[in-house]
Amino acid sequence: MKVSTNPKSGDKSNRSIKPKATWCHGLCTAFLCIVTFWAVPGSASDPLLYVSQSNSTTVGVYDATTGAPVIPSLIAGLSAPYGLALSGNSLFVSDDLSDEVVGKYNASNGSPINAAFIPPTVGASFLALSGTTLYVAPYEGNTIATYTASGSTGNLINAAFITGLSCIGGLVISGSVL
């Protein structure tokens, strides 16, 4: 049985392990356990794997070839990091228990560019990025919104970019197709 922190418990101090209750929640976890694979900015020979770890409240960086830790706590002290998206040296992180805010961080050293890049609105668990557009979907939600990914604040482009979905469990972009 898969187990994970219940990101919707509402109790920020309760980090207990709870069993997955629905097939969608299990699917969400499968998509998000290892979220982003990317090359080190400026180094095409050393691909990195960025991993959000909700139970340890960190985002870590690992060597994608060997699995060795590079920076196991690149970003620490988050409530429950969940979705990740990477563009150049900008790492976007959805923080589920912090009112589902999306932060923008320096991907090399973890310093915040803006920890509330997209402030709490409809919720943000799943992220995907294409060019300067950040796609955001809530946990088990039914709508995908779009925001600008450039600059110091994410501005809403379209709150209802895609609607009528059922139990969103992850986002991936291939080329220009979501």
Note whether residue 71 is domain-resident: no
Six token digits for residue 44: 């095409």
Residue 169 lies in a domain: no
pLDDT, position 122: 58
97 part of a folded domain = yes
Q: Is 69 within the bounds of a domain?
A: no
Please indicate, yes or no, if residue 12 is contained in any of the structural domains: no
Task: Find the helix or strand (DSSP H, E) in which 83 lies.
Answer: strand 81-87
| Assigned domain for 4 exists | no
To 5 degrees, how large is the angle CA 178–CA 112–CA 119? 60
Here the CATH number for the domain that contains residue 140 is 2.120.10.30
Least Cα distance to 81 among 68, 66, 91, 89 occurs for 91
Query: Taking the mean position of all CA atoms in its chain, how far away is CA 165?
Result: 19
For 12-21, the pLDDT digits (tens) are 333 332 333 3
Alpha helices by DSSP H, the chain: 23-32
pLDDT score of 10: 39
CB neighbour list of residue 74: distance below 8 Å, 6 or more residues apart: 50, 58, 59, 60, 61, 91, 105, 107, 109, 110
Give pLDDT tens digits along the chain (178 positions).
Answer: 323 333 333 333 333 323 333 333 333 333 333 444 443 344 445 799 999 998 889 999 999 999 999 999 999 999 889 999 999 999 999 987 766 789 999 999 999 999 999 987 657 889 999 999 999 998 778 999 999 999 889 999 999 999 999 988 889 998 766 6
Alpha-carbon dihedral sign for residues 31, 48, 74, 91: negative
Among 29, 23, 50, 30, which Cα is nearest to 39's?
A: 50
Does a structural domain hold residue 29?
yes
pLDDT attached to residue 98: 62
Nearest to 48 by CA among 60, 30, 56: 60
At 33-53, the pLDDT tens digits run: 344 444 334 444 579 999 999
33: tokens are 């356990």
What integer pLDDT is reported at residue 99 of this predicted model?
A: 67
Nearby residues of 14 by Cβ (< 8 Å), 6 or more positions away? none
What's the domain range around 143? 20-36+79-162
Number of independent structural domains in the chain: 1
Does a structural domain hold residue 83? yes
